Chains A and B, each alone.
Chain A
Amino acid sequence: MDYDDVGLKKEEYDEICRRLKRLPNDVELLLFSAMWSEHCSYKHSKVLIKRYFKANTEENAGIVWISDDIGIAFKVESHNHPSAVEPFQGAATGVGGIIRDIIAMGARPIAILDSLTFGSPKSRKTRYLLEGVVSGISSYGNSIGVPTVGGEVRFDASYENNPLVNVMAVGIVNRSTIRTSRAKGVGNSLILVGSKTGRDGIHGASFASRKLREESFEDRPSVQVGDPFTEKKLIEATLEMCSLPQVIAVQDMGAAGILSSSSEMARKGGMGVDLFLERVPLREKMTPAEIMLSESQERMLFAVEKGKEKEIFECAEKWELDVANIGMLTDTGNMRLFWEGKEVADVPLDVLVDAPSYEKEITSISRSTLSLPIVNEPVNLEEVFLKLLSDPSVSSKKWIYTQYDYMVGTSTVVPPGDADAAIMLVGDGLKGMGVTIDSNGRYCNISPREGAKAVLFEAYANLVASGCRPLGITDGLNFGDPDDDRIYHQFSETIRGIAEGCDILNIPITGGNVSFYNRYEEESILPTPVIGMVGECPDVTRTVKFAFDTEGDKVYVVGEPVRGRVNSGSMYRKCVKGEVGNVFPDVDWYKIKEVFDFMLSCMEKDIFTAVHDVSDGGLAIAVAECCIPAKMGFVWEGEQPNVNILFEEIPGRFVVSIPNSKCKMFERMAHEDEIPFEEIGSVGSTDADFEVFKLPIPMLAKIYENALEEGLDLH
């Protein structure tokens, strides 16, 4: 076997030989090919992430605490490549994989969110991918009984052959049953629980570490097949086991299966590991290397105190799961593999796990900063408004989320489509949490650094708009080929942007995921950091939705006034002008943080009857979205609106409605805190009346609610 047969570079192979002080045998070479793949080793991203993301944890998921005892474990993970070649199973196993990250911490999963990005809504490929991905998430998520409560769906031609499927899972954990993946104690057992191991997904890790091309679709066998029934049993069994004191450490099995889970577990605890591979329950005849690399789904690995394995076996048997004691922890610091009594591999774990990492000279990419001349050509505002409202990136996602069981678990207080974030109960009282997931490749393509901040601030705004105080973020970083200077530069700028944004917002990054090689043939996707965020909601009965509900309430915009030109990156520029532009708007992020703080203090005083952040499509779309749910109207009463006022999208602005009795208090508070705001009108009865055009709400509702289905010709 040769190094390039298994996807290693010449210099990596030389490095392996140098560190081992000998040549690796074939089994060992395969172990290295998986562990040193981008997917497992993060070799292109590790250095930058370590440098800029201070609080990054190395556990399966990060945790923020909402009380002394109750923590929220959450993480986002991508499943882009598998979804590109097999959308149903790719998305389904994406859900399964991230759920196991959550249960590995001893947390009960209570919510799933997903950020999906597809190519042009007009293409047949997009329809095929979207239908497959949505039914994959629906069939898997619904079956395991974890509600899918939120997400986003976007369309842009650059994702045509490389869609993004980023899934975030959120769980609740008690401080006393929390588990880590740090395995300690010589002689302690490693117990494999879950599905039998088969040949599926072998080389999945290295498959995910290559760009997609025409032949990739022949890689369909590299995509694993999900079994939600086993996952459901595995969730219950794992949580029961985590309450047993003899369970020392838990690790889910994702990329590179038994290999990465056992080696990382032992490495984190400073141990070695011996595995006896003939003990692994198999579905078919397999070689030792295949057993190590298999990515069969729905398996977990437990480190259990020696002599106390019985209860673990009993629990697995109760849930009708396969279970086997496949090895033990040693003090050798090595991974030793045995097959029917013979040693087939023996490599130091530090050599295997600590793959070399790369940092490239960051080439500054020159790009034109010249703004296009301002052309004030006449536009038909009504036409533009309707075009934006019916754009599938903007319009209602009801066709999608009604296929997800978003209520199982009876904690969903604010379901999808009602507010900017989903709100879930945690525990028995009225305490809740808000969750959201966001991205925006258009902004990030103009300026990866400022665009990343815009995405982060958008997620923050979504939580603020629902009355939640943000607690932490997880990031899914989706990029093209890191060997390309331009892409590497995008990546490093994005990392800095997120780090700077988190400093300004004073919010920790608790974990994340990097997905490179999102490129089909020669075309890379737009740089797409996905931000998942959770926040705390002290009392779920006081959350605010975005529906206007009382005629006569005053409507205000809170935040910076518009600038006199619809900004680059806006939906207006993309859909109407056909060019997104190349100048990121000047944004004072510190000022926006003040706006956020102000909004939260208004929330504490129950000032608002509706709140919605202004994002895709600008103010006019935000107002329409407030009108549609309760079929209320709106009457414009501000200065005569023009294209900028209606469609500009600069970050950090909110539409709010306020009862007349509270307007004075609101205005006084805004003046005191020096927060810009403007009264733009009031809640009306039957029409959206923007002065320059007036349309009946039932008509808008119909367009907004059917646009996705009609635009993509979904069935």
Chain B
Amino acid sequence: MKVGIVVFPGTNCDRDTFKAFSRLPEVEVEYVWHTFTELFDYDLIVLPGGFSYGDYLRCGALARFSPVMSAVEKYILSKKGYVLGICNGFQILTEAGLLPGALSRNANNRFICEFCDIEIVNYNTPFTRMCEKRVLKLPIAHSDGNYCADASTIYELESEKRVIFRYVENPNGSMNAIAGIMDEEFRILGMMPHPERNCDGVLGNGDGRCVFESIYHELSREVSERDGLR
């Protein structure tokens, strides 16, 4: 499994995300600089958390225009692999129109950093299949995590089971307490909570690991199926 972690100037969860993937066996993890424009040779692209280009404008509004995002779009169209956006990564994906809706200012108007209970709504996705618990303890750390979309989008997301994660106690005012969603083809996941911050038992209870293990197993399965066909 080959993972590319995109680094924009201002990204600050790149190293943490790298660490989380490095815990898995036989995984190659690389950083991808924001100026990269060629076709990716990865099974999974991660847009990690942080403040891309400072986020002085709306979060992710500048990053969506960066050179690397055209490579991400090509990658998605080619259906070569999966995309995971965490926190700022989720914001960038919505700004780029790769996921529906928007992340607006938290209802209390402040940055919030705390552990939240996150309910897994859909277990039948590449990012949640290996999760056993119903509720994960995952940290959030953002000013703009208040998920909004028009009523028909929310209806679509819910009825197509594309709401993957939901806050048990809504910390930021998100519609339907949405914490994470996927695209129609279930290849792109955007989530505000930080699973990479709870992979190590000494930093919490290790609940975040199952997200990484799920995609790892998904990709290993796909690879062996591909090999089997040959």
Contact A410–B113 (Cβ < 8 Å): no
| Residues of chain A lying within 8 A (CB to CB) of residue B203 | 407, 410-413
Distance from A174 Cβ to chain B, minimum over Cβ atoms (Å) = 16
Q: In the complex, which residues of chain B have a beta carbon less than 8 angstroms from the beta carbon of A229? A: 9-10, 51, 53-56
A593 within 8 A of B: no
Decide: B10 and A320 in contact? CB cutoff 8 A: no
Nearest A residue to B49 via CB reads A408
Asked whether A410 lies within 8 Å of B10 as measured between CB atoms, the reply is no
Contact A228 B54 (CB under 8 A): yes
Which of A407, A425, A430: most chain B CB closer than 10 A? A407
Which candidate, A141-149, A492-500, A506-514, A525-533, is the interface stretch facing chain B? Answer: A141-149
Closest 9 CB pairs of A and B: A145-B12, A229-B54, A410-B16, A143-B51, A405-B141, A403-B111, A405-B113, A138-B111, A229-B10
Bound complex: CA of A425 vs CA of B197, how far in Å? 13
Cβ contacts A528-542/B at 8 Å (1 or 0 each):
000000000000110
In the complex, A402→B10 CA distance in Å?
A: 21
Q: Which residues of B contact A319 (CB under 8 A)?
A: 9
Min distance, Cβ B20 to any Cβ of chain A, angstroms: 8
Asked if B12 and A232 make an inter-chain contact with CB atoms under 8 angstroms apart, the answer reads: yes
B202 at the interface (CB under 8 A from A): yes
Asked if B196 and A410 sit within 8 Å, CB to CB, the answer is: yes
Given known A142-B141, A143-B54, contact A540–B112 (CB-CB < 8 A): no
Q: Return the contact of A407 from the options B10, B113, B202 (Cβ within 8 A).
A: B113
Chain A residues closer than 8 Å to B49, beta-carbon distance: 408
A408 touches B16 (CB 8 A): yes
A142 to B112, CA, bound (A): 11
Task: Tell me which residues from 104 to 151 in chain A have a Cβ below 8 Å from any Cβ of chain B.
Answer: 135, 138-139, 142-145
Contacts of A413 in B (CB 8 A): 202-203
A210-226 CB mask vs B (1 if < 8 Å, else 0) is: 00000000000000000
Asked if A42 is at the interface (CB within 8 A of a chain B CB), the reply is: no
Residues of B within 8 A of A430 (CB): 202
B209 CB to nearest A CB, Å: 13
- Nearest CB on A from B212, distance (A): 13
| Given known A-B contacts A232-B10, A233-B9, A430-B202, A409 and B111 have beta carbons under 8 A apart | no
**B19 contacts A by Cβ under 8 Å:** yes
Docked complex Cα distance between A620 and B205 (Å): 32
B200 touches A410 (CB 8 A): yes
Q: Give a binary string over A145-167; 1 marks a CB under 8 Å from any B CB, 0 the rest.
A: 10000000000000000000000
Within 8 Å CB of B103, what residues of A?
A: none
In the complex, B114 has a CB within 8 A of chain A? yes
CA distance A412 to B141 in the complex (A): 14
Taking Cβ atoms with an 8 Å cutoff, the residues of A that contact B are: 135, 138-139, 142-145, 227-230, 232-233, 319-320, 401-413, 425, 430, 540-541, 715
Q: Is B164 positioned at the interface, with any CB of A under 8 Å from its CB?
A: no
How far is the CB of B208 from the nearest CB of chain A, in Å? 10
B residues neighboring A (CB under 8 Å) = 9-10, 12-13, 15-16, 19, 49-51, 53-56, 109-114, 139, 141, 194, 196-197, 199-200, 202-203
CB closest residue in chain B, given A409: B16
Which residue from chain B places its CB closest to the CB of A539 in the assembled complex? B202
A-B contact count (CB 8 A): 81
Contact residue among B15, B16, B202 (Cβ-Cβ distance under 8 Å from A540): B202
Q: Let me know if A406 and B113 touch, CB within 8 A.
A: yes
List the B side residues contacting A541 at CB < 8 Å.
202
* 28 pairs, A vs B, C-beta closer than 8 Å: A138-B111, A139-B111, A142-B51, A142-B111, A142-B141, A144-B12, A228-B51, A229-B54, A229-B55, A232-B10, A232-B12, A233-B10, A401-B113, A403-B112, A405-B111, A406-B113, A407-B113, A407-B194, A407-B203, A408-B12, A408-B13, A408-B16, A408-B141, A408-B197, A410-B196, A410-B200, A413-B203, A715-B109
Chain A residues positioned under 8 Å from B113 (CB to CB): 142, 401-407
Q: Which residue of A lies closest to B51 (CB)?
A: A143
How close is A545's CB to chain B, nearest CB, in angstroms? 13
User: Using Cβ atoms and an 8 Å threshold, which residues of chain B touch A715?
Assistant: 109
Nearest Cβ in chain B — how far from A318, in angstroms? 8
Which residue, A142, A319, A408, has most C-beta atoms of chain B within 10 A? A408
For residue B196, which residues in chain A have a CB less than 8 angstroms away from its CB?
Answer: 410
Q: What are the residues of chain A within 8 A of B111 when measuring CB–CB? A: 138-139, 142, 403-405
In the bound assembly, the distance between CA atoms of A540 and B16 in angstroms comes to 19
Which of A144, A407, A540 lies in contact with B141, CB distance below 8 A?
A407
Q: Hey, which chain A residues are within 8 Å of B109, CB to CB?
A: 715
- Cα-based distance from A319 to B34 in the complex (angstroms): 11
How many angstroms between the C-alpha atoms of A62 and B101 in the bound complex?
Answer: 49
CB-CB under 8 A for A232 and B112, given A145-B50, A227-B54, A410-B16: no
CB distance from B104 to the nearest CB of A (A): 17
Nearest B residue to A232 via CB reads B10
CB neighbours of A409 from chain B (8 A): 15-16
In the complex, residue of chain A having the shortest beta-carbon distance to the beta carbon of B9: A233
> Which residues of B have CB within 8 Å of A406?
113
Residue numbers in B under 8 Å from A320 (CB-CB): 9
Q: Which residue of B lies closest to A430 (CB)?
A: B202
Extra contacts besides A405-B111, A408-B13 (14): CB < 8 Å: A138-B111, A232-B9, A232-B51, A233-B9, A233-B10, A402-B112, A403-B113, A405-B113, A407-B139, A408-B12, A410-B19, A410-B197, A410-B200, A413-B203
Expressed in whole angstroms, the Cα–Cα distance for A715 and B12 within the complex equals: 28
Question: Do residues B13 and A145 form an inter-chain contact, with CB atoms below 8 A?
Answer: yes
**Assembly CA distance A715 to B110 (angstroms):** 9
Task: Write the chain B residue with the least CB distance to A134.
Answer: B110
B114 x A402 contact (CB < 8 A): yes
Q: How far is the CA of A409 from the CA of B16 in the complex (A)?
A: 6
CA distance A432 to B16 in the complex (A): 17
Chain A residues lying within 8 Å of B197, measured Cβ to Cβ, are 407-408, 410
A401 to B200, CA, bound (A): 22
Please determine whether B202 and A425 come into contact, CB atoms closer than 8 angstroms: yes
- A427 CB to closest chain B CB (Å) equals 12
